[in-house]
Chain A
Amino acid sequence: MIRAETLSKSFGGVRAVQNVSVSVPEKSIFALIGPNGAGKSTLLNLLSGIYQPDAGSLTYGDENLIGLPAYRRVRLGIARTFQKIRLFKQLTLLENVLAGFHIHHETPFWRYLAFGDRGRFRDEARELLAFLGLGEREGERAGALPYGKQRMLEIARSLATRPKFFMLDEPAAGLNAAEVDFLLQRLVDINRRGITLLVVEHNMDLVMNVAQRVFVMDHGEPLFEGTPREVQANSSVVAAYLGGEFAA
């Protein structure tokens, strides 16, 4: 579905991503793991268009993504969440999700000037809030939500773009055990709707439970790729990242 070939990105002297080739199969759940500073978030920023690569190629289906800004990639069906949550904090939950429908509005703006209209997509936005367990709180300010709920709201907002390829940057960070279980269930549900997922995550229980394939990075370079079982059995991955917990 999305395919990167020898992708590289440096910041000053720091080579954040070097020669990374990766291909995410359609309709899969694909995990991206590695120690802090391994270049996972940079790779996500390259795939979503926040950064442009210094070298390499990047395609999505038949589309060449190189040079395409982030907002245009959304129209191709690419969505993402952020490691450091980036909600519209002063807006309500419902307004946050409604903003996510931006690319699906087809009404010319002068019609809004004359008649106003906020009715469209409200029902769909409420369904998304309910799906992420936020149904009762649509009128609250997003910034006032507890941390775990903010993560769920960010997912609801991204789903409003109706993505085909959805990247989540550490969705379980800061969640308690019950919230992680809920997230895990939702990721499976989202994937069942035919949406391809790329999940950057440190929570190994979550990764090993939902991912079909796991891509391991270290120091900006690819280290290993395989099924969760293969990853746990690989000695270089265990040495670089997993440590004793998953050692066979």
Chain B
Amino acid sequence: MRRAAYLFGAAAIVALLPWLITTPYWRGILILCAMNVLLALSLNLVMGYTGQLNLGQSAFFAIGAYASTILVKTYGWNFWLASLAAIGGAGFLGLALAAFAVRLRGHYLAIASLGFAVITYQVLVNWERVTEGVRGIYGILPPVRNAVALFYLIAAIALIVYFVLDNLVRSPIGDTLRAIREDEVSAASLGVNGAIWKAFAFGVGAAIAGLAGCFYPGFVGTLVPDAFNIVESFTMMAMVIVGGMGTMIGPVIGAIVLTFLPELLRGFGELRLMIYGAALTLVVLFMPGGIVQAWSTLRARSR
């Protein structure tokens, strides 16, 4: 019941937002924020719940964006059909990356997944016949007619994804993923096939990042590889950590804060990135469990 109330409340806030924020610029930031929420949720499943240090998430975002756009523009597919194919493709490549995760742990997996992101980026730059390389693809139309509709669409999808993932992590599958995160040998001693479940988390996480990617080109109107360089992976990771890794609401809060913070700091001009970086460092230093844990500690103290 309480979950239904929260979901209803969140839907109400989403519905109201475009009425409160009316300038085209800030409405654009809203759309970006909804997309970032999806990306943070996708990485959180792999990193927060399954404990796999994955620096390759930007690659799946890119694959979703490029696959859907190329299928629409070059092959004349319907957007929704193209998106389904792109999500499937991203999910499939997530399974491929999981093959590394079965053999590698911790830092080694981080390096391997980083390599995956670098390779993907290089393919986008160099496979010009298909991706147009650094010249980019232009004149991409959004699947809906205006910015408000696009925001509603992505935000509704983000809400559904949140609901589904929330069900997942509350189910026995959530127990299994957390068991792998905590101690894989111990999980195996309870009958958990770590390889299969890590592949599951990578696949689902990659598919969700691919889903977010489908909406990005229509929002920006152009598609260039630079939008998907590895800095994107680190930004997603920062959202997950700042909000609270391994909780459902944490990455959502992290995505909202880290989408709006750089915009709010624009008044500081050149100092902007320094303040942003300092804020990130301070959060990690003084709130290692992220905003969510800091909040619950504060609440416990005030009682």
Contacts and interface: CB of A to CB of B under 8 A. Distances in A.
B263 interface: no
Contact of B167 (A71, A75, A82, A115): A115
B190 A74 contact: yes
Of B175, B179, B187, most A-chain CB atoms within 10 Å: B175
Contacts of A115: 167
Interface stretch (A25-33, A106-114, A184-192, A203-211): A106-114
Main secondary structure of the interface of B (DSSP, over half): helix
A7 interface: no
B171 A99 contact: no
A96 B182 CA distance: 10
Given A86-B183, A91-B182, A99-B178, A71 B193 contact: yes
Contacts of A245: none
Contacts of A102: 172, 175-176, 179, 187, 190-192
A59 B150 CA distance: 61
A109 B178 CA distance: 16
Contacts of A117: 170-172
Given A71-B192, A91-B178, A105 B186 contact: no
Interface residues of A, number: 40
Given A112-B171, A116-B171, A118-B171, A99 B179 contact: yes
Given A86-B186, A95-B178, A113 B168 contact: yes
B178 A112 contact: no
Contact of B170 (A88, A114, A118): A118
B182 A80 contact: no
A88 B182 contact: yes
A75 B191 CA distance: 7
B149 interface: no
Contacts of B188: 50, 69-71, 74
Interface in A96-148: 98-103, 105, 107, 109, 112-118, 120-121
A87 interface: yes
Given A116-B167, A118-B170, A118-B171, A50 B185 contact: yes
Nearest to A142: B182
B169 to A, nearest CB: 9
A157 interface: yes
Interface string B146-175: 000000000000000000101110111111
Given A88-B179, A99-B179, A157 B190 contact: yes
B171 A103 contact: no
Contacts of B176: 99, 102
Given A95-B175, A105-B172, A118-B170, A89 B182 contact: yes
A19 B188 CA distance: 27
B205 interface: no
Given A99-B175, A105-B172, A158 B189 contact: yes
Given A88-B178, A88-B182, A99 B167 contact: no
B189 A74 contact: yes
Contacts of A10: none
A4 B260 CA distance: 64
B194 interface: yes
A75 to B, nearest CB: 6
Contacts of A72: 191, 193
Nearest to B197: A102
A70 B193 CA distance: 9
A48 to B, nearest CB: 7
Contacts of A90: 178, 182
Contacts of B190: 71, 74, 79, 99-100, 102-103, 157-158, 160-161
Contacts of B175: 91, 95, 98-99, 102, 118
Given A71-B194, A95-B178, A87 B172 contact: no
Given A75-B191, A118-B170, A86 B185 contact: yes
Contact of A82 (B186, B191, B193, B200): B186
Nearest to A89: B182
A99 B173 contact: no
Contact of B172 (A86, A120, A157): A120
A126 to B, nearest CB: 15
B125 to A, nearest CB: 36
Nearest to A80: B189
Of A107, A118, A160, most B-chain CB atoms within 10 Å: A118
Given A74-B189, A87-B182, A88-B186, 4 more contacts: A98-B172, A102-B172, A102-B179, A157-B190
8 contacts: A71-B194, A72-B191, A74-B188, A86-B186, A87-B182, A102-B191, A112-B168, A157-B190
